[in-house]
Amino acid sequence: MSGLDPARLELSAPGDRYADYCLWDYEPVGPTAGRLRQASLLWHSLACAGADPRLFAICDALRDGLGPGRSVWGAKLRDGVTTWEFYFYDYARLDRTVSIERVLAILAPFAPCGLRYAGARPYFMFSLDLDDGLARAERGLDRLNIYVGNPGSSVSSGLSYGLTAEGLVFDNLYSFFDAAREREAIRAKAACSAHLDLPGLDLDAILWPELMRCGVVVVANKRLCDGVYFSRVGIDGLIAFLDRLAYPPAIRDFVRGERRRLSHLLFDVGIDYAIIDGRLTVTKSAYYGLL
């Protein structure tokens, strides 16, 4: 199992939180006794990538410092390399308790950060990237992603900005749709893109039919590509996603082998895509879970 410590296979327990990658709670879709937590997939992903032990320690520190069920992780695959992004939500806005300052203080013993962002600004979420370079102090924590709301539209949406030492830069617009009720709006949004060639585009190559039975679809307009995220996918949808994108065999074998113990959970997955050399190409993908 790629060196995964058996102790990292976390069993569900009474009182566990079940929430999607927006930290919106849901009821588990099956029995929970004897089943696995989504954190087990994080630990397995780290083990499969041969992550530095200090990266495990950083993840532990985040959960210990914020409490269980307060962080969302994403295992991101680009050009065969896996990195991890962590997302921190607090919908209390200005009255937040999960703040940038609090998370950076937790991370300070591992990765000091000189970035500052005014707490008086109404962000509801921020994220940061973790990898071996950070864990080994080969790079600093040099970027934060800040997310703010986007009132005034009939479509729920959000904006993200990248914060670096050079300042704040607008990155992405995220639009949320109910997968069952807003199919045509989803297709129209995905087709309206600066990165895609029309006509002749097969939207099913973006809005994968095997995942469109999810709860929420998010279409993202980004600077260098576009993205689509399928939220609240069942275990079979996660398996289909990993297979279609040819994730490492160890990842796919683990999820398939643990299908029963993961079947009470809902998952979130996403792809970035663009037209490259005349072909629709997935440039990055990710699957997400709760820590």
Residue-by-residue DSSP string for 28-48:
-SS--TT-B-THHHHHHHHHH
Enumerate residues 6+ apart whose C-beta is below 8 A from 208: 230, 241, 244
Give the mean pLDDT of 131-144.
93
> Under a CB-based contact definition with an 8 Å cutoff, are residues 194 and 216 in contact?
no
Quickly state the pLDDT bin for 103 (edges 50, 70, 90): very high
Residue 249 confidence (pLDDT): 96
Residue % of the chain over a pLDDT of 70: 98
Q: Measure the CA–CA gap between 73 and 64, rounded to whole angstroms.
A: 15
Residue 2 confidence (pLDDT): 53
Quickly state the pLDDT bin for 92 (edges 50, 70, 90): confident
Residue 123 confidence (pLDDT): 94
Residue 248 confidence (pLDDT): 94
Quickly state the pLDDT bin for 148 (edges 50, 70, 90): very high
* C-alpha to C-alpha distances, 131 to 15, 29, 86, 110, 265, nearest whole angstrom: 31, 32, 11, 12, 26
Residue 163 confidence (pLDDT): 97
User: What would the two tokens of residue 229 be?
Assistant: 């995220």
pLDDT exceeds cutoff 70 at 68: yes
> Under a CB-based contact definition with an 8 Å cutoff, are residues 239 and 247 in contact?
no
Give the mean pLDDT of 94-109.
93
Count of other CB atoms within 10 angstroms of residue 138: 9
Of 172-176, 196-200, 268-272, minimum mean pLDDT range? 196-200
Residue-by-residue DSSP string for 111-153:
S-------TTS-EEEEEEEE-HHHHTTSS----EEEEEE--SS
Quickly state the pLDDT bin for 3 (edges 50, 70, 90): low
Q: Measure the CA–CA gap between 146 and 171, rounded to whole angstroms.
A: 10
> Under a CB-based contact definition with an 8 Å cutoff, are residues 175 and 156 in contact?
yes
Please tell me what DSSP assigns to residue 19.
Answer: B
Q: Measure the CA–CA gap between 11 and 35, rounded to whole angstroms.
A: 6
Q: What is the mean pLDDT of the chain?
A: 94
Residue 157 confidence (pLDDT): 86
The neighbouring-strand residues paired with 230 are 217, 269
Quickly state the pLDDT bin for 197 (edges 50, 70, 90): confident
**What pLDDT digit, counting tens, does each position of 7-62 carry?**
789 999 999 999 999 999 999 999 999 999 999 999 999 999 999 999 999 999 99
CA-based diameter of the chain, in Å?
53
155-164-73 Cα angle (round to 5): 60
Q: Measure the CA–CA gap between 146 and 190, rounded to whole angstroms.
A: 23
Give the mean pLDDT of 124-148.
94
Quickly state the pLDDT bin for 1 (edges 50, 70, 90): very low
**What pLDDT digit, counting tens, does each position of 229-253 carry?**
999 999 999 999 999 999 999 999 9
Residue % of the chain over a pLDDT of 90: 85
Give the mean pLDDT of 74-97.
92
pLDDT exceeds cutoff 50 at 216: yes
Q: Which stretches does DSSP call E strand in the chain?
A: 71-78, 81-89, 123-130, 144-149, 157-164, 167-178, 216-221, 226-233, 267-276, 279-290
Model pTM greater than 0.85?
Answer: yes
Give the mean pLDDT of 137-159.
88
